[in-house]
């Protein structure tokens, strides 16, 4: 394995893992698992593209994992409990683990926007989605299952 690459050498993923009724809200996006490419285990690093009218995820916060993002190009709206902030090239945002302030990005512009996300990988981390009846449950085999907050699974 190489120790340095052009980030575009990493295969772009486009499949949204959220079930309906959430999947259709996400819009068109792609991401490249840069940290996974290098086998990193202590933190993840993704190069992501949000196309016009797409959002990065459901608004969420982590119990144990920090997240950091850096806008490479384009314009994005950061939505948090405080409201909305326009982010453009060169801006960054950070989210400390355990702070109950859900966040996500939305591309309301007419052009794609690229950003880098870096997050810690902490065992036992839980993710909360304050605006939606959604959670990821860890099954006995270690796989993740999309579920409502009452624990019933989405199909």
pLDDT at 143 over 90: no
Taking the C-alpha atoms of residue 51 and residue 107, their distance in angstroms, rounded to an integer, is 7
pLDDT at 48 over 90: yes
pTM value? 0.92
Task: Give the 3-state secondary structure of residue 146.
Answer: strand
pLDDT at 149 over 90: yes
Q: Identify whether the C-beta of residue 74 lies closer than 8 Å to the C-beta of residue 89.
A: yes
**Percentage of residues in the chain with pLDDT exceeding 70?**
100
Predicted local distance difference test score (pLDDT) of residue 125: 87
Tens digits of residue pLDDT in 96-122: 999 999 999 999 999 999 999 999 998
Tens digits of residue pLDDT in 16-26: 989 999 999 99
The arithmetic mean of pLDDT across residues 62-77, rounded, is 97
What confidence category does residue 141 fall into, taking pLDDT thresholds of 50, 70 and 90?
confident
Can you identify the CATH homologous superfamily of domain 25-147? Answer: Jelly Rolls (2.60.120.10)
Positions of E strands within 58-124 = 61-62, 67-73, 75-80, 83-88, 92-95, 104-106, 113-120
Predicted local distance difference test score (pLDDT) of residue 78: 98
């Amino acid at each position: 394995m190489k120790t340095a690459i052009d980030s575009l050498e990493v295969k772009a993923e486009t499949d949204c893992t959220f079930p309906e009724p959430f999947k259709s809200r996400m819009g068109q996006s792609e991401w490249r698992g840069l940290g996974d490419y290098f086998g990193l285990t202590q933190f993840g690093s993704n190069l992501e593209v949000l196309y016009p009218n797409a959002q990065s995820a459901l608004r969420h916060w982590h119990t144990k994992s920090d997240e950091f993002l850096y806008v490479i190009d384009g314009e994005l709206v950061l939505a948090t409990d405080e409201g909305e902030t326009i982010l453009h090239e060169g801006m960054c945002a950070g989210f400390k683990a355990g702070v109950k302030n859900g966040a996500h990005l939305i591309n309301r512009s007419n052009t794609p926007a690229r950003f880098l996300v870096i997050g810690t990988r902490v065992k036992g981390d839980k993710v909360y989605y304050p605006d939606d009846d959604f959670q990821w449950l860890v099954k006995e085999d270690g796989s993740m299952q999309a579920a409502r907050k009452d624990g019933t699974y989405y199909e």
